[in-house]
Structure 1
Amino acid sequence: MGSVFGSRSSKEEKASTDKVTDGLSNQTRHPEAPKGRPTPKRAVAQSQRRGSVASTGDRKEDAKRARERRRADMTRQREALANGDERYLPARDKGPVRKFVRDYVDSRYSVAEMFLPLAVVILVLSMVRVPALQNIALLLWLAVIALIVLDSIGLWFRLGKALKQRFPNEPTRGAVPYGLMRTLQMRRLRLPKPQVKRGEKP
C-alpha cells in the first residue's frame, strides 16, 4: 500500500513540475501578449509591480518603504496637477472627457470665478454703517447670485451639448458638474492648472 501511494504522489509531483516548467518555457518563448489580446494598461502594470514588491521581513522597514512610495506618488501627483501629466493625475481628473471639460471651462470667462473677490467687496460695503451703501451691497449680492445661476444654467446646456458631440460613445456622467465646480475657482487657483488660453478652442 505504501509503495502504491508513494508512486501516485511522485507522479502527481512530476506532473505539477512539468506544468510549471512548460509555463515558464512558454513565457520565455512568448514575452509579448499574443496577437489580438489587449496590452495591459500602464496603471495596471504599475500597480502589479508595486504589489509584487517582496516584503523584507522587517515590519518597520516595510512601513518605511510604503511611506516612501506614498510620498513619491504624492509628489508625482502634485507635479501632474501643475503640468497636466495625465499619467499621475487623481482619478477624478483623468481621461479625455475630463480634460475636454477643463479646457472648455478655462477657455471662457465665467461669472462664478469672480464670486470670491465680489463677495469680499460686498462684505466690506455691508459693514459700513451707511444705509445707502448697505442697500447697494444687498442689491449687488442678489445681482451676483442671479448672474451666477443664469451663467451656470447656460454652461450646463452648452457643455452638455459639446460633450455629446465630442464623445458620443463615451460615458460622460458627472462631467458637467465637474465643469461647474471648476468655474467657482479663480482661474489662477484651479487644479489641474489651465492648459489653454482665454478664447482658445478646446
Structure 2
Amino acid sequence: MVAPATGTQDAKAPDRGTSTSGADASPADRKGRPTPTRKEAEAKNRRPLVASAGDPKAARAEQRKANAEARARMNEAMNTGDERYMPVQHRGVQRRYIRDYVDARWSLGEFFLPIALVFVVLTFVVGQNPNVALPLLLAMYLLVIIAVVDSVLAGLRIRKRLRTKFGEDKVQKGGVMYAVLRSFQMRPTRQPKPQVKRGEFPA
C-alpha cells in the first residue's frame, strides 16, 4: 500500500513561484526604488549657471546690477576714449584714426542740422511767397549736395591715408561710411567724444 500524502509534507514543499531570492529579485526590488530614466538623470546632473538661480528675484537683481555696471563702463569709455569698453564698431586703431581725422577738420555736414532748422523756420514764415520759397528750396538742396560731397571726399582721403599707414590689404571695410556719418554729427554730440582739437590731425 502506498501511504496517502499528508498535509505536513505539502506544507514543507517549496513554492517556487513566489521565491524572492537575490538571484530572482528585479533591480528595482534590490535598490528599493525604480531605475531613473535618462531624462531624469540628465536633469539631475544639470547645475544652475549662477549661484542665485534658485531665487529668480535675486538673479534678476544681479543681472540688472551687471547690466548697469556694463553701461556705466561703456559710457565712461565713450567719453574718455578707452576702447576696451567701447562697442565693437568703434574699436581699433583705424577707427580711432578716422575719428581723430574727422574731429580735427571743419566740415559742412556738422552744421547741416542747425542750418536745416533755419531753412524750415524760414519756409514757414515766408513760404507763401514763391519768389522766396523757391530760392530757399534750391539753397537747401545745394547745401545737402555740398555737405555730402565734402564728407565723401574726406572719407576717401582718410581711406588713402589708412592704406599708406596700415597697408592696402589691412584696411577695414566701412571706413568711408564711418567718416561720413561722423562728419554729419555736430561735434558736441559725437560719440565717442572727440579726443583731439581742431587742426590736430593724426600722423
TM-score (norm 1): 0.69
Instruction: State which of 44, 65, 68 in structure 2 corresponds to 1:68.
Output: 65
After superposition, give the CA deviation of every residue in 1:86-120 in whole Å (9 maximum; x if it has no partner).
11111111111111110011011111111101111
Contact residue 107 and residue 197 of structure 1 kept, 8 A = yes
Q: Which segment is superposed worse, 161-170 or 90-99?
A: 161-170
User: Which stretches in structure 2 are left out of the alignment for 5+ residues?
Assistant: 1-48
User: Deviation at 1:198?
Assistant: 0.8
User: Which stretches in structure 1 are left out of the alignment for 5+ residues?
Assistant: 1-52
User: Deviation at 1:142?
Assistant: 2.0
2:185 aligned partner: 185
CA distance in 2, matches of 1:190, 1:153: 18
2:56 aligned partner: 59
User: Deviation at 1:59?
Assistant: 2.3
1:172 aligned partner: 172
1:143 aligned partner: 142
CA distance in 1, matches of 2:50, 2:117: 55
CA distance in 1, matches of 2:155, 2:175: 10
Match of 2:51, SS?
coil
Quick one: which amino acid aligns to residue 132 of structure 1? N
Larger Rg: 2
User: Deviation at 1:149?
Assistant: 2.7
2:20 aligned partner: none
After superposition, give the CA deviation of every residue in 1:34-71 in whole Å (9 maximum; x if it has no partner).
xxxxxxxxxxxxxxxxxxx8422322212211110011
CA distance in 2, matches of 1:192, 1:149: 22
Equivalent positions of 1:150-165 (< 5 A) are: 150-165=149-164
1:80 aligned partner: 77
TM-score (norm 2): 0.69
Quick one: which amino acid aligns to residue 172 of structure 1? Q
Contact residue 103 and residue 196 of structure 1 kept, 8 A = yes
Quick one: which amino acid aligns to residue 145 of structure 1? V
1:133 aligned partner: 132
User: Deviation at 1:133?
Assistant: 2.2
Which of the two has greater helix per residue? Answer: 1
User: Deviation at 1:199?
Assistant: 0.9
1:103 aligned partner: 100
Match of 1:109, SS?
coil
